[in-house]
Amino acid sequence: MLLVAITLCGFLGAFTVSATNVALPMIESEFRVSALTLSWIPLAYVLATAAALMPMGRLADVHGHRRSFMWSLRVFAALMLAAAFAPSAGVLMALRAAQGIFGAMTITASTAMVIFAYPPDQRGKALGLFAAGPYLGFTLGPVLGGVIIHNTGWRTLFLVVGALGAANCLIPIWRLRGVEWREPKRARFDILGSALYALALPALLLGFTMLPSALGAILAVIGAAGIALFLWWETRAADSLLNVGLFRHNRVFAFSNMAAFINYAATLAVTFLMSLYLQYTKGLNPQTAGFVLVCGAFVQAAFSPVAGRVSDRIEPRFVASAGMGLCALGLLGLVFVGETTAYWYIIAMLCALGLGFAFFAPPITLAVMGSVETRHVGVASSTLATVRWAGQNLSIGMAGLILALVVGGGAIQPAVYPRVLTAVRTSFAIFTALCVLGIAASLVGPRRGARDRSP
């Protein structure tokens, strides 16, 4: 019951993110808004989620992960249904931001509940199945979402997701008393730390994606300074959101989070870059390019449960390192793509990437969560989620920055297609180097004895 609920929740969140991008032209046609306003509809969800991960994770620690998950699931479903009746782009943007806030609580609570609900020798399998949900959501979003939007309109998309979310609320996870955990409240909720985090991280992420513009640089500097101030404050707060000592004194926790950050920073922009390559260099239409890109995502979804089961039998650090190695191999292969590259080669490299990510994500999650005591599981979950979101945004930011530096800020015309290919290859070369560094970081993991003593 629990695994069904959290997997469906992860699927719906990812599905909505990817499907909403398909709906943007229809939303623009109805509300007649500028491109800038339109871009904030998906961006509001991403930034709100990033801003809420740490505070929501701490609230779940205090009030209980199961209870927090159930309440956030209900509110999330209600907000989805409300989005279907949004009277303006501004209201839709606000509702997407609210969905991101409560979605952040489901993200942090889900991983913690898996750790509490399953014994150590079954957690890898459970985390692998759980990871398959978001992968399928991102994969099916543009395809299935496109069918819904094309035939019935963008509002139906939110009605369908809201209805499925409401149905998910009926799964009786309230009976699973054993997955609940509350940490005794030590002091007042860290309001100052929450404010610093909620303002600094989105500023840093948004600023980096806007580089090399002056506004992007200013936001990035302000965000970085805010993160530094947040970390300083967390070493002094009575009831901190982030246990900085875990990074100082727990090598497994620190290096596993570093490996996760590197992997997400090196892989998330692959779809974006390959979409440019397939359409501008290879001349494919968006639909055909989508069918090529979906191959790697299906491999991710198919092999994540397998990787989870392997992690229950082999030390997670070895499985995660092998996955990172496959990611590096796939990225290295993409460095050499060109105008005449065969499609079988492109698909093979994308599948290698998908297989690598499938064998990286569940074991690295197991390594992070298994490296901390029970009282730190909530903090570990929210920290890993924050690292994941930061890495994903950094990946898109790096790709956009390289594209801007190599191609320029103007429209992409046939005359600059060769420079687009250069930018794509350069990005993949940098991402390959990052993955090589990530292999070393992911090797630092808990031995089986240490994992078996974990919560």
The CATH number for 125's domain is: 1.20.1250.20
Helices 89-117 and 65-83 cross at an angle (nearest 10°) of 150
Asked if the structure places residue 54 within a domain, the reply is yes
Highest-pLDDT range among 85-99, 210-224, 231-245, 265-279: 85-99
Domain boundary among the residues 186, 215, 240 is at: 240
Asked if the structure places residue 120 within a domain, the reply is yes
pLDDT, tens digit (0-9, with 9 covering 90-100), for 350-372: 999 999 999 998 889 888 888 88
DSSP collapsed to 3 states, 399-437: HHHHHHHHHCCCCCCHHHHHHHHHHHHHHHHHHHHHHHH
pTM (whole model) above 0.85: no
Q: Are 423 and 442 contained in the same domain?
A: yes
pLDDT, tens digit (0-9, with 9 covering 90-100), for 260-319: 999 989 988 888 788 888 888 998 876 677 788 888 888 888 898 888 889 888 888 899
Asked if the structure places residue 195 within a domain, the reply is no
Q: Are 163 and 219 contained in the same domain?
A: no
Note whether 156 and 84 are within 8 A (CB). Answer: yes
Q: What's 43's DSSP letter? A: H
Q: Are 225 and 127 contained in the same domain?
A: no
For the chain, the domain total comes to 3
Asked if the structure places residue 84 within a domain, the reply is yes
Q: Are 154 and 225 contained in the same domain?
A: no
Pairwise CA distance, residues 20 & 125, whole Å: 31
Q: Are 429 and 300 contained in the same domain?
A: yes
Q: Are 257 and 133 contained in the same domain?
A: no
Q: Are 343 and 209 contained in the same domain?
A: no
Note whether 37 and 89 are within 8 A (CB). Answer: yes
Q: Are 218 and 71 contained in the same domain?
A: no
Asked if the structure places residue 109 within a domain, the reply is yes
Q: Are 312 and 437 contained in the same domain?
A: yes
Q: What is the DSSP string of 307-352?
A: HHHHHTTS-HHHHHHHHHHHHHHHHHHHTT--TT--HHHHHHHHHH
**C-alpha atoms less than 13 angstroms from C-alpha of 343 in its C-beta half-sphere:** 10
Asked if the structure places residue 178 within a domain, the reply is no
Average pLDDT over residues 26-46: 80
Domain boundary among the residues 240, 263, 289 is at: 240
Q: Are 134 and 8 contained in the same domain?
A: yes
Domain boundary among the residues 172, 187, 220 is at: 172
| Token pair of 454 as six digits | 């974990």
Owning domain of residue 207: 203-240
Q: Are 379 and 436 contained in the same domain?
A: yes
pLDDT, tens digit (0-9, with 9 covering 90-100), for 156-192: 999 999 999 998 888 766 555 555 566 656 667 788 8
| Token pair of 173 as six digits | 């996870």
Among residues 455, 333, 397, the alpha carbon closest in space to that of 43 is found at 397
